[in-house]
Amino acid sequence: MPDALALTADTLAHDWRLLIGGKLVPAKATYENPSPVTGKVIAHVPDAGSQEVDAAVTAASQDFPAWAATPIAERAAIVRQIAARVRENAAELAALDTLDGGNIIRLAQDDVHRGAEMLEYFADIARALTGDTVPVTADALHFTTHQPIGVVARIIPYNHPIMFAAGKIAAPLVAGNSVILKAPHQTPLSALRLGELVADLLPEGVLSILTGSGPATGDAIVRHPDVRRIAFIGSARTGLIIQRAAAETSVKHVTLELGGKNAMVAFPDADPAEVAQSVVHGMNFSWSGQSCGSTTRLVVHEDIRPQVVAEVARLAGGLRVGDPFDPATDVGTLVSQDQFDKVTGYLEIARGEGASVAAGGSPVPGTALAVEPTVFTDVTPDMRIAQEEVFGPVLSVLSFRDEAEAVRIANSVEYGLTGSVWTNDLRRAHRVANALEAGYVWINGSSTHYVGTPFGGVKSSGIGREECLEELLSFTETKAVHISYA
């Protein structure tokens, strides 16, 4: 297993470059990238500006027609080769994510393979890009085709760096677009390494990978008039900024997968021990709670609340927070000092609002930016920790007396990404799942994604669906053709 200090020596010595026009090129400027594990600078990362963005878009535009004309089976085969290259380098890519973002090594390794799985999935369904015939008239043939859009941008977040870097280029490439991938400034290294690994597999210009120290790089991409399709994953606040910037430039197709303040609703007929296990799993404590789909609100019936809370507190308290490179560690670090300050600030806000600590509640001493898995009880729906996305290892426990109240509490936030219902009553399960204002709902489960089923949110959690055929189709435009027999 790699050592953080030894790996830091390698990443500091490495000449990190952008992928533009099929070539690895330096940016005019760089920025220092610190590790949340060691607190030390681990790399000098290219800081792409408008000049680099223009170069990437120009290269993408030039090579788009040939890539779009490439038979879809050939495009899918190349995407499979990218997946194979990712899997071949899984250990290195996972280690970069652990050093760069603090994710524990065993989950970082899983992320690599999830990214490869998404590449393979979209290669598998490439031939689903079929059109339709529409029997409108008897003397003409009416049919549709799906055509690639052109230059598209994917802007990804820091919490699953390589999974998103690899997996989110799949659909637009298979659909025949040129792709500009903007990596997160906090965790850019695995995306940059991906560019080095796959540059020889694709025609020049079809894939560019850019990094930047702040919002300027992403803003230049979003506002570029030749970028006609934008897919963003991140916070609701940034999603609104992207919508506004895109609208100020030209008509663009924008999809957003944003934050969540997701509820797990547990009814009194559910087994308290099973609910507690699912709560801890759904909270994604092992990611330090840095997951938009985390069920961060446990809305539990008063009859089983004491048993569930006691077991959740026991399980959360038993998680080992430590060196993310140690395979025995259960919880790693938060991604940055800013995120650490935000999460620890919410710990104080919760106490100030009258919430009680059932587990955790404090930062972990040391240089790593870690916070204990935390469980707050005595939470009411009006509290900030019941309304706002913390994006940290913080669970809020609320209680209810009847089904109507449970649904009201679950739907009382601006977000609507995921939800979970625990009950053995089939009718109630369907009824509540239907009533929840969320795009992705588990019944007697949590957290797991099923590739091929649409993932996405409602309300302030976003627009569009991913991990499914709809994602592939969203990177195409539908053309209707009418052939008259007369």
Distance (Å, rounded) from C-alpha 374 to C-alpha 360?
A: 4
Question: Quick one: how far is CA 247 from the chain centroid?
Answer: 24
Please report, for residues 60, 186, 217, 232, the alpha-carbon distance to residue 46 in angstroms, rounded to integers and kept in the order given: 19, 12, 11, 21
Catalytic-residue membership of 257: yes
Question: Quick one: how far is CA 201 from the chain centroid?
Answer: 25
202 phi, psi to nearest 5 deg: -115, 155
Burial class (CB in 10 A: 0-12, 13-18, 19+), 426: exposed
**Sequence-distant (≥ 6) Cβ neighbours of residue 339 within 8 angstroms:** 290, 369, 391, 392
What's the order of all strands across the beta sheet hosting 178-182? 23-25, 18-20, 207-210, 178-182, 151-155, 227-233, 253-257, 462-463
Please report, for residues 351, 380, 399, the alpha-carbon distance to residue 354 in angstroms, rounded to integers and kept in the order given: 5, 9, 15
Rounded to a whole number of angstroms, the distance between the first and last alpha carbons of the chain is 72
Catalytic residue (one of 52, 117, 120, 257): 257
One-letter amino acid at 118 equals M
Distance (Å, rounded) from C-alpha 378 to C-alpha 102?
A: 31
3-state class (DSSP) for residue 147: strand
Tokens representing 385 are 């920790």
Q: Which residues of 63-99 are buried (b: 16+ CB within 10 A; e: fewer)?
A: bbeebbeeebeebbebbbbbbebbbebbebbbbbbbb
One-letter amino acid at 272 equals P
Contact, 182 vs 238, CB < 8 A?
no
Catalytic-residue membership of 468: no
388 phi, psi to nearest 5 deg: -105, 145
Dihedral sign of CA atoms 152, 154, 245, 47 in order: negative
DSSP code of residue 128: G
Catalytic residue (one of 292, 311, 372, 389): 292
Q: Is 266 left (phi over 0), alpha (psi -120 to 50) or beta?
A: beta
Shortest CA distance to 159 belongs to which of 41, 333, 372? Answer: 333
Tokens representing 195 are 């560019």
One-letter amino acid at 46 equals P
Q: Which residues are catalytic?
A: 257, 292
